[in-house]
Structure 1
Amino acid sequence: MKLVVQVKLLPTPMQAAALEMTLRACNEAATWVSEVAFEKDVKKNFALRRHTYGEIKARWRLGAQAAQHVIKKTCDAYATLKANLKAGNLGKPGSERYRRATEKPIGFRPAGAQPYDDRMLSWQLAERHVSIWTVAGRVKDVPFTATPEQLATLALYRKGESDLVCRDGMWFLLATCDVPEAPLNGDPVDFLGIDLGIVNIATTSDGEIMAGRELNRIRARERKLRSKLQQKNTPSAKRRMNKRRRKEARRAKDINHKIARHVVAEAERTSRGIALEDLTGIRQRVRLRKPQRATHSSWAFAQLEAFIAYKARRAGVPVVYVDPAYTSRTCAECGHIDRANRVSQARFACRNCGLVDHADRNGSRNIRARAWELWRRGAQSTAPPHPRASGVGQDANAAPPPVVPVVQARRFSDG
């Protein structure tokens, strides 16, 4: 399984200047290669190399490996564009967004990431130094900082390219690691259903509620501050916006990591699988009033699902994706479906059997039941675009153990 380890470089001013010149030269070369590829309609690596390789080395003083990585980066960018166009992510053919993406060559930012292989970059993990190629020559003994866990992962599993990245004046290396997966648990005793939401980020079928109110309050405050700074439009306001622009994303990512780690650890401890809703395309399916759109669009459910999925693969925990339709209106006890069952955001009251429960917990129990039914039948998933569940079928006569109806709240915050 491919994972990325991010380490922070601590270069001297002279080393940072050399790194900055290198990124600028590589991205200028990549923009020129993109123009050649667009004009000649040549977007394959080896074919494009015949048109551009010599010019890149002579004009930008790039080494052989750096020149090849520039060409490959350009081809990968066009391959990604083609995939997005095919998937409809850039609108329909003929739309303004579609035309903007296809009527001109792809451009690269001056500080865009540049890939490095082992010929251009060497690691001294014990000394926490790297030796890295630049247009000004090889720069040796560039210090970096990393946790003991990151150092162990790099020492054992680093394999492939690393990307040099500059973010807000800080330098990072993103190292690719090939981490082995744990053997998959092919005989889970049950599934842990996870209901994802905005008010409560995640609710488990065990009744554990991971509240998101604090995160939503912080996001609302950040949006209000952004609006004020944009209206001022002064140099100091722009500096403040640049300083804060990634803070909210880092906070949400940290909280999602904590939730995913907790969910996977609980499923692994109890020998259960994990059941998730397939929420592909939910933003296109759901209609919202204008005040709700910003909150809904900032909901990082895809990131949380991705974190749960890769942590589960590392732990050998099977993950099943189920159809989310009517999980919030269906009674987990009797199966009665009625819109009136959902009394409020937090309260569920069945009109048929009288069950009263927390609405998100009731939904997570329905997700768990659907996943267990899929597993018993040997099916992988009901996700329409791409089945993503792992594992094999189970004994059709087996029954999951009962779930104790306990509701408890757990707060996940950046503090």
Structure 2
Amino acid sequence: MIPGFVRVSVIGEQCERFLNLCRGRDMELRKIIRTGEKEFQATLKVKDFRKISPLRRKTGVHIHILRKKGPVFWLLAASRHKMLLSGLLLAVCVFIFLSGRLWNIHIEGNVMNPTQQLLQFLEEEGITYGMSKRKIRCTSLAEAMRRKFPEITWVSAKLSGTQLIFEIREGTLPPKEQKEEDSCSLFSEVEGTVEKIVTRRGTPLVKEGDSVERGQELVSGILNITDDSQEVMRYEYVHADADIYIRHKVSYYDTFPLDVEKKVSTGKAKKFFFLQIGNLRLDLSPGEKKKEDRLIQEYPARITENFRLPLLAGTIMVQEYTLKKETLTEQAAKKQAIQKLYIYEEKLIQKGVQISENNVKIEINHQDCVSRGTLCVIEKTGREASTEKKTQPKERTPEDG
């Protein structure tokens, strides 16, 4: 029997007789409270409540239900809302089904191999979003990834919930055996002074402090194999490898007018929305006009970290402006010139160039601001080119000795 309780109010001339009849039939009444001279409240079980109809007629009392409590009433309510119950059961089944599927792939530790490239490899291996987790073999995937990408020295694959996690460590590729036809030498790409040279393979032809010309050979791909008396027995050809840093000067020149047109916002701005599904785009913004800026913000639809849907929503902020002519002050012009020089230096640094001296001067005339001068930089060089082959020395006979 499913438990349940009913709180009732009993009103009538024969309340006490009704109470005695209930007790005489072994009905369990709880929390009896007299609320009036001819009224009381009590709590009884559902099975006992179904037996009180004959007693109510015999005593002539009136019974009002105040409150219902218990699982039996929850089931009765659910039976009256079958669609709601069916929807709840369906949601539980869908949740159980989805929890057994793969919905996210997380890759960390990769630098040399882009995430998109690794995701493409996993797709070729049959790893797709929504597939059953039972079909995924983490050990086999890790081994296949190491075979496909030799620079990956260690990889761990594991399933966590509905997520497949890869932890990767990368290293340098092992040096390949050098063939004679793969041999090369290193040549200078700039004119300057050797600041530093570290040779790992090949024969260095210059040393620190030497002046070099553009196109000059710096490290030869020829190794002289000598005997005990330092006589050259033969030549061995290798792929030259070295770190060579050359100190040289870079010319810098930049100019811009002092009379400029500055954008001044009119304060008029409107926001428009757009929606893109695949290659189909619904854009509510007007066509582009002159003297207006557009700020576009995109919000791609992602279910998980790397699971992206072909759905894109966004906003377009259109701001109107007018052009106002003004003349830069000497201080403002120099500040702008310094900023442009700083941007140029940042680009050099990003390429691995070290800046040791700055000999750029900024001049202001009536119409322009001119920056000219040189930067003394230390740059890594070493252009690979094929090694010119030499005729192998003749073998020495005992008579030659």
Q: Which is higher, the Rg of structure 1 or of structure 2?
A: 2
Which structure has more relative contact order (CA 8 Å, sep 6+)? It is 1
Tell me if TM exceeds 0.5: no
TM-score (norm 1): 0.19
TM-score (norm 2): 0.19
- Structure having the higher helix fraction is 1
